[in-house]
Chain A
Amino acid sequence: MSETQILGESIIIRMVVGMLYPFMVLLGFYVIVNGHYTPGGGFQGGSVLATLFVARYVVFPVDDTDSERLHTIQRLFLMLILVVPTALLFTGVVTRYPALRGPYLTLMDLLIGIQVGFGLGVAVLRFAFFQGVGKTWHL
C-alpha cells in the first residue's frame, strides 16, 4: 500500500477513532483499576488497551512501531508480575496489614493489564504487518 492511499483513508474513520482514542484509554484503565470489586480486571482492561494499537493500525497502517521494544516492555511487566507477589505475598506483608490488600490487588491488576495490553497489541501488529518469509508478490 502506497503512502497516498493511506492518506486517502476515510476521513470519518480518522475523526471518529481520534475522538474515541482518549475514551478507550480511560475505559481500559477504569476496567483495570476497578477490577477487584467490579466486573473486569487485568486481562479485560488489558485487551481494551490492546485495541489502542489496533485502532492506530486501522487509521494509519504503517509499520513504524518498534515491535521489538514493545515486546521487551511486555516481558519486563511479565517479570514484575512474578516478582511483586513473591516480594509482597510470600514475605507475609499483605497478610499482616489488611489495609494493603486493596492496593495490592490494584497493583497486580495494573501490571497484568499493561502486560496483556502490550502482549496482545504486539501480537496483532506483528500479524498485520507480517510480510511472509522474504517474498513479495507482483503480478
Chain B
Amino acid sequence: MIEVGTLILMGVFAALAIHSPLIRLSVIYLAVFSLLAAFLYVLFAAPELAIAEAVIGSGLVTLLYLAALKRSHVYTIGVVTTSNVVTTRNVVMHSGLVSDRYAERIERSKAVQEIRDFFIRREFETQLVFLTVPTGQALLDPAYDLVLAEDGEDLVVYTDEESYVMVELELVFQMHDSMSKVKFIRYSPEAVL
C-alpha cells in the first residue's frame, strides 16, 4: 500500500518537474522525486541503493543542476502591444489580455527569430514578455533587456545605448540586409526619465 502511494507520488512529482514554469522549481521537484525513490528502495529492502540514491540523487545532482542554472542567463525581451495596431486579421488585445494569435505572429516573425538566433549563438536563452504598458514605462523597467514595439509594418527595437551587444545585433541585421523591416532606436535610461 505504501509502495503504491510512493509510486503515485513519484509520478506526480515527475509530472510537476516537467510541467513547472520555472526550471529552478523543476530541480527541486526532481530532488523530491529522488528522495521518494530512495524511500521506495528502503521499502523494497535495498538500503544500500537507498543511501546512494539519497546522497547522489537529491544531494549532488541537485546542486549540479543549480550550479548549471546559475550560469544560464535568460534574456528578457519585452514586446509592447499598443492598441493602435489592431487589424482586422489580428486582434491584439482581447479583454485586456494579449491574444494568442498576436503572440504567435510576433514569435514566428523573421526579425524575432533572428534576434533569438543571435542570442542563442551567445549561449543566452531568450524569453518574450508581452506588455500592456506604454513604451516609456517598459523602457524604464530594468526587467526587460530589450524592448520591441510594432510601428505599422516595421518592428522597432529599443536598445540601451551603453550595451555593446546591441551594436553587434544591429550589425547582424545590417549584414543580413533586413534593415527595412527593423528599426533600431538607441536610448539612455536617464534620457527617458
Q: Hey, which bits of chain A sit against chain B, CB under 8 A? A: 31, 39-41, 43-44, 47-48, 50-51, 54, 57-58, 120, 124, 127-128, 137, 139
User: Can you list 8 A-B contacts with CB-CB less than 8 angstroms, sorted by A residue number?
Assistant: A39-B47, A43-B52, A48-B51, A50-B60, A54-B63, A120-B60, A137-B122, A139-B165
The reply to whether B47 and A54 contact each other, CB–CB distance below 8 Å, is no
Residues from 103 to 160 in B contacting A, C-beta threshold 8 Å: 122-123, 145
Query: Which residues of the partner chain A approach B122 to less than 8 Å between Cβ atoms?
Result: 137
Query: Which residues of the partner chain A approach B73 to less than 8 Å between Cβ atoms?
Result: 137
The reply to whether B60 and A51 contact each other, CB–CB distance below 8 Å, is yes
Cα separation A43 to B63 with both chains bound (whole Å): 19
Q: Closest B residue to A51 by CB, please name it.
A: B59
The one of A40, A41, A50, A128 in contact with B67, judged by C-beta atoms closer than 8 angstroms, is: A128
Interface size of B by CB at 8 A reads 19
Query: Which residues of the partner chain B approach A40 to less than 8 Å between Cβ atoms?
Result: 47-48, 51
B18 CB–A CB distance under 8 Å: no
Cα separation A120 to B55 with both chains bound (whole Å): 12
The one of A39, A120, A137 in contact with B48, judged by C-beta atoms closer than 8 angstroms, is: A39
B25 CB–A CB distance under 8 Å: no
Q: Closest B residue to A40 by CB, please name it.
A: B51
Query: Which residues of the partner chain A approach B20 to less than 8 Å between Cβ atoms?
Result: none
8 additional A-B pairs beyond A31-B51, A57-B67, A128-B64, beta carbons within 8 Å, are A40-B48, A47-B55, A47-B59, A48-B51, A54-B60, A57-B63, A124-B60, A128-B67
Cα separation A131 to B9 with both chains bound (whole Å): 38
Closest Cβ of chain A to B45, distance in Å, is 10
The reply to whether A39 and B51 contact each other, CB–CB distance below 8 Å, is yes
B163 CB–A CB distance under 8 Å: yes
Q: Hey, which bits of chain B sit against chain A, CB under 8 A? A: 47-48, 50-52, 55-56, 59-60, 63-64, 67-68, 73, 122-123, 145, 163, 165
The reply to whether A58 and B145 contact each other, CB–CB distance below 8 Å, is no
Query: Which residues of the partner chain A approach B68 to less than 8 Å between Cβ atoms?
Result: 127
Cα separation A40 to B51 with both chains bound (whole Å): 7
The reply to whether A44 and B51 contact each other, CB–CB distance below 8 Å, is yes
Query: Which residues of the partner chain B approach A41 to less than 8 Å between Cβ atoms?
Result: 48
Closest Cβ of chain A to B145, distance in Å, is 7
Query: Which residues of the partner chain A approach B59 to less than 8 Å between Cβ atoms?
Result: 47, 51, 54
The reply to whether A44 and B163 contact each other, CB–CB distance below 8 Å, is no
Closest Cβ of chain B to A40, distance in Å, is 6
Closest Cβ of chain A to B126, distance in Å, is 13
The one of B52, B63, B64, B145 in contact with A139, judged by C-beta atoms closer than 8 angstroms, is: B145
Query: Which residues of the partner chain B approach A44 to less than 8 Å between Cβ atoms?
Result: 48, 51-52, 55
Cα separation A50 to B123 with both chains bound (whole Å): 30
Query: Which residues of the partner chain A approach B48 to less than 8 Å between Cβ atoms?
Result: 39-41, 44
Cα separation A39 to B52 with both chains bound (whole Å): 10
The reply to whether A47 and B163 contact each other, CB–CB distance below 8 Å, is no
The one of A39, A51, A137, A139 in contact with B163, judged by C-beta atoms closer than 8 angstroms, is: A139
Closest Cβ of chain B to A124, distance in Å, is 6
Closest Cβ of chain B to A108, distance in Å, is 16
Closest Cβ of chain B to A104, distance in Å, is 19
